[in-house]
Amino acid sequence: MSLDKFGIAKRIAQELKDGMYVNLGIGIPTLVANFIPENINVIFQSENGILGMGPYPTEAEVDADLINAGKETVTLIKGAALFDSAESFGMIRAGKIDLTVLGAMEVSEKGDIANWKIPGKMVKGMGGAMDLVASAKNIIVAMMHTNPKGESKLLAQCSLPLTGMACVKKIVTEIAVLEIGEDGFILLERAPGVTVEEIVQKTAGKLIVPDYVPEMQL
């Protein structure tokens, strides 16, 4: 059975390690914060100027002066720090953020990512995505394996304008966990009950399938 968005978030949360500084993008990546394994502490960064972002506020805690990069109201954890956008992207560029999780429209077998622009449609802008993918030490993409038309989003080459080149390390979809290897996508895990054949069929780029592909442990 393929995963829902919560399942994808839960699987990505297994990648978190104690002490990591993590930036979560909008959408499925945001859900990762709900599944942090017990006994580990990670600190969330929001690129509008927070290190130590906490959960959404209660009604009484709402503060109009405190939002995240998705423009949502948030809280601060004890020990949080606040700074401006220039410093925030400085720490991103300088490689201080250990892990970035973001969504994508397409990923290539070389690790290129496209997630900001569809020619012919209104372009809203790249926000901080280009900066994050150009500099984060480790980038995990959370996305569906295929687009709404059923076409693979894991391609030999991206067809959409790129956000960044050769930057994605790992991809978690509703059916598989893959990493970017020297020669293409390497299939690491499959969702419970999903066959290798289905993943092969839905992956347009070069896919390397090891002899044994374990099921995700969720």
Partner 1 sequence: MNKLFIDADAAIADICDEAILMVGGFGLNGIPENLIAALVRKGIKGLTCISNNAGVDDFGLGLLLQTRQIKKMMSSYVGENAEFERQLLNGELEVDLIPQGTLATRIEMAGMGIPAFFTPTGYGTEIAIGKEIREFNGKMHLMELALHADFSLVKAWKGDHLGNLVFRKTTRNFSTSMAKAGNITIAEVEELVEPGAIDPDEVDVAGVYVHRIFQGKNYEKRIERKTLRIQS
- Give the catalytic positions in this structure: 47
Interface residue with partner 1 among 1, 4, 37, 63 (CB under 8 A) is 63
Binding residues for partner 1, rule CB under 8 A, total: 52
Q: Cβ of residue 187: shortest distance to partner 1, in angstroms?
A: 26
Interaction between residue 100 and partner 1 (CB under 8 A): no
Q: With contacts defined by CB under 8 A, name the span among 11-19, 100-108, 145-153, 161-169 that binds partner 1.
A: 161-169
Q: Which residues contact 165 (CB under 8 A, 6 or more apart)?
A: 110, 111, 112
Phi, psi at residue 21, to the nearest 5°? -100, 125
Q: Toward partner 1, which CB reaches closer, 27 or 70?
A: 70
Q: Within 13 Å and on the Cβ side, how many CA atoms surround 137?
A: 10
Interface residue with partner 1 among 36, 77, 134, 196 (CB under 8 A) is 134
- What single letter denotes the amino acid at residue 171? I
Interaction between residue 94 and partner 1 (CB under 8 A): no
Interaction between residue 183 and partner 1 (CB under 8 A): no
The edge-to-edge listing of strands for the beta sheet with 207-208 is 76-82, 50-53, 43-46, 21-24, 99-102, 139-142, 170-172, 176-181, 184-190, 207-208
Q: With contacts defined by CB under 8 A, name the span among 121-129, 142-150, 171-179, 209-217 that binds partner 1.
A: 121-129
